[in-house]
Structure formats: C-alpha cells, structure tokens
Structure 1
Amino acid sequence: MAFRDQFPVLQSIAYLNAGTDGPIPLAAAETARAELDAQLSEGRLHAHFARRHDLAAGLREGYARVMHAAPEHVAVTSGTSAGLGAVLAGMDIGPADEIVTSDAEHPGLIGPLIGARHRGATIKAVPFAELANAVTAKTTLVAASHVSWITGELAPAELAEVPVPVILDGAQGSGAVRVDVGELNCAAYAAAGQKWLCGADGTGMLYLDPELGERVRTVNPTYFSFEDTSLGLQSPLKSVASRFDLPLPREAVALSAAALEVLEAEGLDAIITRAADLADRFATALADAGYTVAPRGRSTLIAFEVDEPEAKREQLLERGVAVRDLPGTPYLRASVGAWNDESDLDRLLEALEP
C-alpha cells in the first residue's frame, strides 16, 4: 500500500492540520480496535495491566528513537503540556531565577511559566530569533519552542551553546523535524504523540537529561512513579525519567505505537525531508498567489495572512480543505506532512479563491 493510501481521511479532504492532530493511519485504528475488543471480551484483569505495561515500554522505545535518546531518559506522558509542566513545577524555581522565553509561545508552555512567575521567577520574553542572544549572567533557564507553533521558525541553533539548561517545547518538532537531544544539547524535550507522529490524543513524551533530572522533584507521583509500591509510605520513587510516566489507556498507547510503526516503516528521516520539501513548495505557491507568508524555517508549518481567519477556516473546510486559524493573529496555518501531495496544494489554492 502506498504511504498516502494508509491515511483514509485524505480520500475526502486535503488534510493540512497535523500541527493540531495528525491523520490516523488505517493500521493504527485497526490496532486500537483490536485492543478494545480484547478488553471487551476478556475483561480487564491482570493480563490487561501487563499488556498496558508492555505497550508503554514499546512506545517509550519508539519515542526514544524519535528523539535519539536512551529509553531510560524518556517518560511516556499525556502530551507536551504534561511534560513541560512536570519539569518546571518540579524545579526549585524562585525569586533568584530569570527564565528566558519567546514572546510567541503556546499556552502549553505559557501555563508552566506563569506558575514559575507565581513562585517569584522573572520571565523575560523576547523575539523568537533572539532567544540565545537574550541569555545573560542573570539567566538561569531557557524555556521555549523548538519549532514555533505560529510561524514554523526553528529556535536558534546557538541555544545549544548557552551556559544554562534549555527546556524545549517540541510539540511541532518530533516527527516534523529532526530531533536529536544530544545535538540540541537540551536538558528536557517535551513533545506530543498525536500531532506529527499521528498517534492518539492524550499521548506524548518527555526527554529528561539525568543531570537536570536530579533537580526535578516528582510533584504528582502516580502508581507508575514507584520502584516498589509494596512499602507504603516508605515506597521509593524511580530515579529515571519513567517516574513521570502517566497511566494512559491501553488502546491509546497501542494506536500511537502502531502509528509510529507505519512512519518508521516508511523511514522517519525520509518522511521529514519529504514533508519539509513539500511545505517549501506550499509556501512558495502561496506567496506567488499573493498571500503574505510569515517568516518560517525548514519546517512543516506555513502561516499566511487572510481576512477573517476563523471564517476563512470554516469556508475552506466546506470546500474540503482542513487548516487552522491562529487566534490573535491574521494567520491561517497549513500543516504539511509527507502524506500530503501536490493535489492538496492545488485544492488549497482553489479553495482560497473567492
């Protein structure tokens, strides 16, 4: 089966919304149904929980491959926001801290930053391109997007050289651009399973460098956080990243693992390159058609200006094209994946006509 054919939604619409939720591969949906059917017929007994454990272990290994990290440094979470929140809430942040961030962050990071500010930290917001330059002797931490959720710009490469820990929001990174936490030299990287990796809503990943991990308390331990749950109040927490694991539904984990298998069978590096090439063509075609395209990097997002973006989004959907508007901006955002092709570009351009 051709790669595009594995995403049934593309038969009916030009799906350009992976920056919110990726298209689900047929094999992933079938896998999730099988896991639900097993629970329906067999009940949820000891074997059910063992199955959940095994599936989560496999997904952890898959997410580790995506981020070029060791599995023991990866937690399986419910999404980008959960990972960012766990790290920032668990750090000893107070009035002596200055956190550098950008002035165009997603609410998933803004929320934890507000929490840090409530604890006395100074939050210094600067233009996205100035993140590395904004680090001074007063700065103790950088927390920002790897890929801007608005424009598709990539964080400055110089962030890998700053002398303070860097926490990256990878919601628009994992599965869309190459992610190597070693090359990025980041202390933490939180990302989503449902976007560019085409997995289930409510799945995600957190890479945590062991050195930073020693500074991050487990603020909200779950059953999965313990080394041994039989010791009551003396039960020790794990020392590795999996202490931040969250109890996810069996069928959701199975869906995300199966979706990742589909992507890896095609070749994740090839998918990333193909999607970026196609996104470049989309951006050029939109500019040639007279639309103002926001400055962007070598990514899979294209933001372009229209009048009344929310109304235009609904109009496009009626014409068989799925994009999203970005509240508070003049932009519609097209998210281009390797499952798209030139026919989706043609359909977008045609649908944009009055």
Structure 2
Amino acid sequence: MVRNSLRTLWSEPRPARPPARVWRDWALFGVAVAASLVEAGLRSDRTWLPVVLAVSGVVAVAVLWRRTRPLATVAVAFGTLIVFDVARILASDVTGLTSLAVVLVLPYALLRWGSGREAVVGLGIILVWVSVTLLAVPTTVAETVAGYGFFLFSAALGATVRFHAATRRREIEQAELRQRHELARDLHDTVAHQVSGIAIQAQAGRAVAAAHPERAAEVLAVIEEAASRTLTELRSMVGLLRTSEGADFAPRPGLADLERLAEDAEGGPRIAVELSGELDGLSPAVGAALYRLAQESVTNARRYARDATRVAVRVVGDAEQVQLTVDDDGAVSPAAGHPSGYGLVGMRERTKLLGGTFHAGPKAGGGWRVEATLPHGEVTS
C-alpha cells in the first residue's frame, strides 16, 4: 500500500493552467527587494554586502516564477541559499539573512502547482537547506523543530489547497457529466417515442394499402415527417453519453408542462408562467431543456430566495431563438449568493450542449435572475 501511494505521488501531474503573474506577485517582489535593501544598510559586515545583495536578488526574482516553474524556482532559490550558508560556515564570521521570509511561499507553490516528482525533489532541496542553515548557527531543539515546521507547514498548506481545488474541479466535471447524461436520456426517450409512432404508422399503412391505396400515401407522408424529426434528434445525441438507466418511452416534459410549475407552488412563493412569441415547432430537446431549466430555477428560488413572494417564468420565442427568464423578488443570501452547490453549473452545461447561452446573477433592483437563450430550430451537437 505504501509503495502504491508513493508511486501515485510520483506520477501525479501538474495542475492545469496555473494563473498568470498578477499584481500581488510584483508586490511580493517589491517587498522582498525593499527588505533586502534595508537589511543591507543595517549590516555590520560590509565585506559580504555584494554577496548578500546578490543572494537576496536571486531569491526575490525566483519568486516571480513560482507557479509556472515551481521546481526550478525552488532549485535556484534554495540552491543559492545553500551555497551562501556553506560559505557562512566556512568563513564563520558572516551573519545570516533575516529578510528572506519570502522563501516561505516557495514550498507552498511547490506543492500547489508542481507535479508529484517535482514536489518530492523540491522538498528534498528545501530540507537540505534547512539542515545546512541550522548548522550555520547554534540552535536549540525547539528552534530546530520550528525551522523544519515552518517550511513543512507551508508545503502542507499548498497540498491542502491543491486537494480542495482538485475536489471542486471533479465535482464540477461530475455535475456537467450528469447534465450530459440527463440530456442524452431526454433525447433517447424522445427518439424512442417518435420511432414507436413511426412503427405504428407503418403498420397502419400496411393494413390500408390493399383496400385504400390513396390512404397509404397519406400514411407515408406522416412517416416521412416523423422520420425527419427523429433524424434531427439523433444528430443531437451524437457525442452525448447515455446512462444505463432504462427509458420509460414516455415523452419528456416540455414547454407545455411549464404550467405545472405554478400548480406545484403550494406553501411557497407564487409562480407566474408567461409564454409569448413564436413557440411552435420547437425541437423536443429544446422544449425539455426549457422545462428543466425553469424547474431548477424555481426550485432554487424556493430554497434560497429569502422572503420571496413571487417567481416569474417567461418564455419568449421568435423565428431563430427562444429565451427563458426566471425572476424572483427575494433577498439574495449573503452566505453564498443565491443557489448553492452545482445546480448552476449543470444548467450552464445543458444550455451550452444545445448551442445556447446562459447567465445567472443578482438583479440591480433586488432579487435573482436566470436567463437562458436556446436555438429555436434544429439542435446540433
């Protein structure tokens, strides 16, 4: 088990997309340079002043690359400090650097942004430096423990932040995948319903073909139209995952079912549903998505909109697109905005999969608004 854990640690890749250098990095660099200059002005051993300034400068500059080059940064900064401390031991008359507290951010960055092998190698370099610098000056047991503890705590903090970031990223990916599964299930069941209708029409056509040939032509026209709709839905299913759950072969809830949201509003804010514009001929996938988005938005309003008295659901369509807007008049929760968890992530993913846009946030006049725009016609994956 220990061997497997070590092998897993060693093969751990770097986190993707480390943040670019920001103003805080330059502020940290400026503080490090200023502290080094102040210390240089107060030092009594002036002979070593150029060396002290050079070492401080190397460490300060290395901090700027701590996210994108964590191991190289640790190797350069702590390697320079090891050489300086070895020289201090040999010379025996050189005082240490007290302005290098900035190096505490390097173990954090190493565990936060480095790969597994970089973390192991970099921690080894850091611990070697701590050992050397503790040899350079007389220390007590408590000071020795504190010396190792400071840098190990910084590294542990970086590993903790990395773990939480990875956990949140996985949860977001799972929320998006669940939406893909649900959308695929909706499309699958809609297609299954349409194919069942085609089969029934084909059977009816065979039954009337001999006695009433003209009726058979009408049946073929109906089959052709249903088949075209089915092919459109099948194209939407390409690339989407399907869960192993069985289909119920019943049509998925759609735009016509939005009124049920108002009927289920007992004991909560009043739900008002308004439909307007061109809403005929919507793709079944779009209709199901509008219902799911409205349902999730209304559920969030009931849970998180404090003192809400009304939730307005509006669907407006034209020839090219259909827009869903859900507004509530409640107070936004100060703890976590409005809806918590990953409901918004899933709603955004569902809208994106159907080629639409999604936005949710507090309104200027109070309350919370959810807006989704979806294509009116054929949905392409």
Is the structural similarity TM-score above 0.5? no
Larger radius of gyration: 2
As a proportion of its length, which structure holds more helix?
A: 2
Using the size of structure 2 for normalisation, the TM-score is 0.18
Using the size of structure 1 for normalisation, the TM-score is 0.19
